[in-house]
Amino acid sequence: MSEPNVIPLGPKQAAAAAQLHRQGIDTGFLSSLGQSFLRQLYLAVPKCPAGFGYVWVEPGGQVLGFIACAESTGRLYKQALLRRGFQMAWPVGRFLFRPATLKRMIQTLRYPSQVGGELPAAEVLSIAVSSDARGKGVGKALMAAALKEFARRSVRQCKVAVGADNTNANEFYKRCGFKLALTRQHHGRPMNVYVIGTHEQGHD
């Protein structure tokens, strides 16, 4: 597999990114809001000045992986809500006002300000690769493209948060060159936060 397969995330790939998110990040709060919500989110991300993403697309058009990033997670959330707030709320309207859902949503929106002021604002929000494409360099190619774009935007460091019990994901970020910065509770689970310089590249 080669890097030319990596292209910017756009409207045509939003549905595929949403599906990959549900399949590959099935324990997160955003996944619990459903695939329709995630599609709206990934329609919004590349339209926001603070956001961008990439997908790995096969010659036949199949999307095997995606990555979504933010120069500032808090700023991206605000921009996404301004651009597609109604569309994002509609798919989850039936349970949007459940106390447990509201609590987790507030925690998610407050997360950028709580994760640690000493950490970079820029963040890898999500990355997922199709199960039949794992171990073939797709994830690393997507991460390399994201770090290159962060650097192009003059962002010197970025972070990523992952459940402390997600062994495969933690090992992936370490292989990419991320360093553990802290561990904190998020939605009642321990979460590791890693940081990397945007000029750095991982090695297999």
Domain boundaries, the chain: 3-154
Contact of 198 with 147, CB cutoff 8 Å = yes
pLDDT-derived band at 2 (thresholds 50, 70, 90) equals: very low
Alpha-carbon distance of 74 to 150, in angstroms, equals 16
DSSP helix/strand/coil, 150:
helix
> Residue 203 — very low, low, confident or very high, per pLDDT cuts 50/70/90?
very low
SS3 85: helix
DSSP 8-state assignment for residue 115: S
Q: Are 125 and 143 in contact (CB under 8 A)?
A: no
Architecture of domain 3-154: 3-Layer(aba) Sandwich (3.40)
Quick one: tokens of 50?
A: 């603070």
- For the stretch 10-64, pLDDT in tens is 999 999 999 999 998 877 677 777 888 899 999 999 999 999 999 999 998 999 9
Q: What is the pLDDT of residue 36?
A: 87
Phi, psi of 126 (to 5 degrees): -160, 150
pLDDT tier at 200 (50, 70, 90 boundaries)? Answer: low
CA–CA gap between residue 86 and residue 9 (Å, rounded): 21
43-57, 82-96, 104-118, 167-181: least confident range: 104-118
What's the token pair of residue 98?
């459940």
pLDDT, one tens digit per residue, over 181-193 is 999 876 678 999 9
Cβ pair 96, 29 in contact under 8 A? no
How many beta carbons lie within 10 A of that of residue 182, not counting itself?
Answer: 15
Provide the whole-model pTM: 0.84
Q: What percent of the chain has pLDDT over 70?
A: 78
Comparing CA positions, the residue from 54, 80, 76 lying closest to residue 65 is 54
pLDDT at 102: 46
The two structure tokens encoding residue 23: 């399949």
